[in-house]
Amino acid sequence: MADRRATSRDKLEWVQALRGIAALMVVLTHARLFLYGTAWDAFARRFMLPAAQGVDLFFLVSGFIMVYTTVRSDGSARYTTDFLIKRFARIWPVYAVWVLINWALQMLWASGPIPSPGDVATSLAFLPINTFFPPYLGLPLSIGWTLNFEFYFYLVFGLSLLAGRYRWLAFFGWMLATLVLLPLAVTGTVSMHAEHDYGIGIAYLDQNVNPIIWDFVAGVVIGLLYVSRIRVANKTLLAIVAVSGFAFACERSFNAAAIATFHGMAGWGLPLAILFAAMALAFKDHEPRVPRALAWLGGISYSLYLAHLIIFETVDRMLEALDCKDFTHTVAFVVLVVPIPMIYAAISRRFLEDGLAVFVRKQLLRLTKPRGAAVATTLPADG
């Protein structure tokens, strides 16, 4: 079926650039908090809050990349085991370090509720703590809620690989059962709104039937289009579709009546999926030239996503200690503070992602390899 294969010449730098843009959007949406209660309050709420859709873009990209990097899956238990090990090693060690850094700083500052060891352990197991108000925020490192959904998607996707040639039947069948049939059976309704609470009563199950998971499903569909033989020769048509998707996203984001738009297909996910699909079809045969800055930003996007809130709070507290608290509520401060997490993200990429994560990956893969077999020491193509 597929005629696209992951090769060293096809690096998907445009996808890396999208990751970088998504991370920067999330950074900007959190930077808006410094402007609340100021003359820029309305601007921050209307034009910076919608940047939270970077989360939807991350999820779409994840679905796409999982298809792209597993086109050679042979359906074996070893392939699936290796896949899950690589995904675990890619996200957990770095996440764990930043969670523990955040926890230590919270204990040091001692100016608010300090997460319990149980809550920290729960978050490190990719489990929800807050079982109400989807999409279940409230983790010790607040942005960790997205990783709960991310790792669940990896589990489902990885296990579907075991079905071999029927992997897509298994994957889409599971998604149909959990996102449509189960909610219908239990509540009589199906929603596409990520903030919808089915109220099943089992925390992990409530999380895994949340409609935000449709973002991953859409990413998988786009990935299948990309690796298929389907071609759209009319690039003008694709450009029109892409612009329409972008305009749709802007309308949902900046229309005064649509400010309450949220994550998921009923919110920002659908227009972003349209835009992403048009890009994928347009770039099937010829990848665009990506600015080095965007490629670099994509490379540090995961660490940037994890670190930026911690860096923001640290800088804020440092300026408060210097009696410069008022400065943190200015546009000038926002402009100056946004790049700072990039420095720490670059360090995290170098020592945590390319160091610790690779080490963990190598050690775990060694357990599944026959004695004497070589173990790759670099991150996978989706890293």
- Helical H runs in 188-300? 203-208, 214-227, 235-254, 269-282, 292-299
Please tell me which residue, 8 or 226, carries the higher pLDDT value.
226
- Distance, in Å, from the CA atom of 98 to the CA atom of 116, rounded to the nearest integer, reads 16
Residue labelled with tokens 């319990």: 116
113: confidence class by pLDDT, cuts 50, 70, 90: confident
Q: Structurally, how many domains does the chain consist of?
A: 1
Residue labelled with tokens 């792209």: 68
Across 51-60, 108-117, 135-144, the highest mean pLDDT is recorded for 51-60
**Tell me, what's the pLDDT at 379?**
46
Domain extent, residue 253, equals: 13-368
Token pair of 341, please? 């997490």
Kindly report the number of other CB atoms within 10 A of residue 85's CB atom. 20
Indicate if the pLDDT at residue 7 is higher than 70: no
Which of 15-19, 126-130, 279-283 bottoms out in mean pLDDT, i.e. has the lowest? 126-130
Which of 31-40, 116-125, 362-371 bottoms out in mean pLDDT, i.e. has the lowest? 362-371
Q: What is the pLDDT of residues 179-205, one digit of tens each?
A: 999 999 999 999 999 988 898 888 889
Q: What is the pLDDT of residues 246-266, one digit of tens each?
A: 888 887 777 655 555 689 999
Indicate if the pLDDT at residue 1 is higher than 50: no
Indicate whether 228 belongs to any domain: yes
Indicate whether 25 belongs to any domain: yes
**Tell me, what's the pLDDT at 61?**
98
Indicate whether 4 belongs to any domain: no
Cβ neighbours for 178, distance < 8 A, ≥ 6 positions apart: 208, 209, 213
High-pLDDT (> 90) share of the chain, %: 74
Q: What is the pLDDT of residues 75-112, one digit of tens each?
A: 999 999 999 999 999 999 999 999 999 999 999 998 77
Indicate whether 52 belongs to any domain: yes
Indicate whether 220 belongs to any domain: yes
372: confidence class by pLDDT, cuts 50, 70, 90: low
381: confidence class by pLDDT, cuts 50, 70, 90: very low
Cβ neighbours for 40, distance < 8 A, ≥ 6 positions apart: 331
- Distance, in Å, from the CA atom of 383 to the CA atom of 380, rounded to the nearest integer, reads 5
Average pLDDT, the chain: 90
376: confidence class by pLDDT, cuts 50, 70, 90: low
Residue labelled with tokens 């040639």: 165
Indicate whether 380 belongs to any domain: no
Indicate whether 382 belongs to any domain: no
278 by Cβ neighbours in 10 Å (0-12 / 13-18 / 19+) ranks as: buried
pTM: 0.92
Indicate if the pLDDT at residue 315 is higher than 70: yes
DSSP label of 380: -
- Distance, in Å, from the CA atom of 336 to the CA atom of 9, rounded to the nearest integer, reads 37
How many C-alpha atoms does 105 have within 13 Å on its Cβ side?
18
**Tell me, what's the pLDDT at 374?**
59
**Do you find a cis peptide bond into 339, omega within 30 degrees of 0?**
no
**Tell me, what's the pLDDT at 138?**
85
Which of 149-153, 236-240, 295-299, 374-378 bottoms out in mean pLDDT, i.e. has the lowest? 374-378
8 Å CB contact between 298 and 17: yes
**Tell me, what's the pLDDT at 8?**
38
Q: What is the pLDDT of residues 336-353, one digit of tens each?
A: 999 999 999 999 999 999
Indicate whether 6 belongs to any domain: no
**End-to-end CA gap in the chain:** 25
Average of pLDDT values for 51-68?
A: 97
Tell me which amino acid residue 166 is. Y
Q: At what angle do helices 54-69 and 269-282 cross, to 10 degrees?
A: 40
* CA distances in angstroms from 197 to 261, 293, 302, listed in the order given: 16, 40, 28
- Distance, in Å, from the CA atom of 22 to the CA atom of 281, rounded to the nearest integer, reads 20
Closest CA to 123 of 91, 153, 89, 154: 91
**Tell me, what's the pLDDT at 238?**
86
